């Protein structure tokens, strides 16, 4: 075996191992650890009969919260959002809802100007500067010590705010993430919807193990002292802000009972656009992260769940190229055929996704390949400065 062949074998197995670890081994480790922690919790409950559920906030202890929503050209979503806010069970006198219209050019400003609810405040920014600076502006006008962040299209369950806020009675809690459910059409339900269900399970288990790394920007609550002002290029506030809370010594958790719904992109093509923006934000966030906040199992979860996911496109490329050098051996020939079959399957999904969208799982290879390609594009734009702080909602 010559040096090039030996190197190809090492690269192939290293990339293959990292791929399997990310999607199969890490979730299995997570499940075993989660099951053990849950078993210990059950035993403590059976032996001590101590109440495990977080006690709801009493009527005399309800804290005030400041809701911050950055909006750009959200005319079609605002009516439903305002109705949703009025239907929440949280006392109106304890609410401050701040809409920051970031240079909107449609009917968003007109709709916000017509709102007469005492607890709704609006800030109109004449020029579009991007979501990070709009959030900064909203927080500057916040009156209360607990902040809730959301998107204009996200609809909260009636009890969602109360369920998140109850955790702040524990002074160790710095941020509480809600549980987002994505709604969509047949195609999105069988691609992103299936992938997101898998992601929600991982996040829930990580939360139970005290290793929540990031929130969903559509629904999370934060102690105001944990908020770090964002800069224009910070596209992932829901990663950087919880990391700041951890750096300050606070815990970050997820409450699956704090539910919300939002709409996913209608097509995988639309999801590609969104994932590219996330990829740019992810690689840029690495420059701003304070890795001292990633101690213990949290650091393990970050590397396994986030960092390796971001690097998987490169592993896939190296695995395919190294496999091409090993075609003479039957095993590696079969491995190359398997990879080729995957990419062919994904290509057929791209060509015939409208006909195949009724069948669950069939479009997953197409979706996964699209996600990985989006991260490659995002990495390129991040390295060569082809990014912008503003973004458009994908429909």
Name, of 276-280, 313-317, 383-387, the range with top average pLDDT.
Answer: 313-317
**pLDDT score of 52:** 60
185 pLDDT exceeds 70?
Answer: no
> How confident is the model over 201-244, as pLDDT tens digits?
999 999 999 998 888 888 999 999 999 898 887 878 888 888 88
328 pLDDT exceeds 70?
Answer: yes
**pLDDT score of 279:** 85
With cut-offs at 50, 70 and 90, classify the pLDDT of residue 190.
Answer: low
Q: Give the percent of the chain with pLDDT over 90.
A: 50
User: Would you state the structure tokens that stand for residue 7, as one six-digit string?
Assistant: 């190197």
User: Would you state the structure tokens that stand for residue 322, as one six-digit string?
Assistant: 């190294």
Give pTM, 2 decimals. Answer: 0.85
300 pLDDT exceeds 90?
Answer: yes
* Mean pLDDT within 11-39: 95
> How confident is the model over 83-132, as pLDDT tens digits?
999 999 999 899 999 999 999 999 999 999 999 888 999 999 998 988 89
**pLDDT score of 45:** 78
**pLDDT score of 46:** 81
Whole domain around residue 55: which residue ranges? 1-395
Higher pLDDT, 181 or 144: 144
Higher pLDDT, 52 or 45: 45
The total of structural domains in the chain comes to 1
389 pLDDT exceeds 60?
Answer: no
**pLDDT score of 231:** 85
Of 9-23, 50-64, 256-270, least confident by mean pLDDT is 50-64
Higher pLDDT, 317 or 345: 317
Higher pLDDT, 115 or 350: 115
Mean pLDDT of the chain: 86
**pLDDT score of 235:** 78
58 pLDDT exceeds 90?
Answer: no
Higher pLDDT, 384 or 94: 94
Of 79-93, 144-158, 267-281, 296-310, least confident by mean pLDDT is 267-281
308 pLDDT exceeds 80?
Answer: yes
For residue 56, the domain's CATH number is: 3.90.550.10
**pLDDT score of 360:** 56
> How confident is the model over 239-291, as pLDDT tens digits?
888 888 988 889 999 999 999 998 876 666 777 888 888 888 888 888 777 77
**pLDDT score of 205:** 94
Name, of 244-253, 291-300, 360-369, 386-395, the range with top average pLDDT.
Answer: 244-253
SS3 annotation, the chain: CCHHHHHHHHHHHHHHHHHHHHHHHHHHHHHHHHHHHHHHHHHHHHHHCCCCCCCCCCCCCCCCEEEEEEECCCHHHHHHHHHHHHCCCCCHHHEEEEEEEECCCCCHHHHHHCCCCCCEEEEEECCCCCHHHHHHHHHHCCCCCEEEEEECCCEECCCHHHHHHHHHHCCCEEEEEEEEEEECCHHHHCCHHHHHHHHHHHHHHHHHCCCCCCCECCEEEEEHHHCCCCCCCCCCHHHHHHHHHHHCCCEEEEEEEEEEEEECCCCHHHHHHHHHHHHHHHHHHHHHCCHHHCCCHHHHHHHHHHHHHHHHHHHHHHHHHHHHCCCCCHHHHHHHHHHHHHHHHHHHHHHHHHHHCCCCCCCHHHHHHHHHHHHHHHHHHHHHCCCCCCCCCCC
């Amino acid at each position: 075996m010559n040096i090039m062949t030996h190197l190809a074998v090492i690269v192939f197995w290293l990339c293959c191992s990292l791929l399997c670890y990310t999607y199969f081994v890490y979730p299995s480790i997570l499940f075993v650890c989660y099951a053990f922690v849950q078993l210990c919790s059950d035993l403590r409950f059976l032996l001590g009969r101590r109440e495990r559920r977080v006690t709801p906030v009493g009527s005399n202890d309800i804290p005030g919260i400041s809701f911050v929503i950055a909006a750009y050209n959200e005319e079609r979503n605002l009516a439903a959002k305002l109705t949703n806010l009025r239907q929440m069970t949280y006392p109106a006198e304890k609410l401050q809802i701040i809409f920051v219209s970031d240079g909107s050019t449609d009917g968003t400003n007109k709709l916000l100007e017509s709102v007469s609810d005492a607890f709704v405040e609006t800030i109109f920014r004449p020029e579009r500067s991007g979501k990070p600076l709009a959030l900064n502006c909203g927080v500057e006008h916040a009156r209360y010590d607990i902040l809730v962040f959301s998107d204009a299209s996200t609809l909260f369950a009636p009890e969602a705010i109360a369920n998140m806020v109850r955790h702040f009675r524990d002074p160790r809690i710095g941020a509480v993430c809600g549980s987002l459910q994505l709604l969509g059409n047949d195609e999105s339900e069988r691609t992103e919807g299936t992938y997101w269900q898998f992601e929600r399970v991982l996040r829930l288990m990580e939360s139970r193990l005290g290793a929540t790394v990031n929130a969903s920007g559509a629904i999370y609550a934060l102690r105001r002292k944990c908020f770090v002002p964002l800069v224009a290029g910070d596209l992932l506030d829901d990663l950087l802000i919880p990391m700041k809370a951890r750096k300050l010594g606070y815990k970050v958790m997820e409450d699956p009972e704090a539910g919300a719904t939002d709409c996913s992109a209608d097509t995988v093509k639309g999801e590609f656009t969104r994932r590219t923006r996330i990829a740019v934000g992810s690689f840029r966030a690495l420059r701003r992260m304070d890795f001292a906040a990633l101690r213990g199992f949290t650091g393990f979860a970050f590397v396994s769940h986030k960092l390796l996911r971001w690097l998987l496109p490169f592993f896939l490329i190296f695995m395919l190229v190294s496999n091409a050098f090993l075609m003479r051996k039957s095993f590696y020939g079969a491995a190359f055929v398997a990879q080729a079959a995957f990419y062919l399957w994904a290509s057929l999904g791209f060509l015939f996704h409208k006909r195949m969208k009724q069948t669950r799982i069939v479009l997953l290879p197409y979706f996964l390949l699209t996600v990985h390609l989006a991260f490659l594009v995002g990495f390129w734009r991040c390295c060569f400065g082809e990014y912008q702080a503003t973004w458009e909602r994908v429909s």
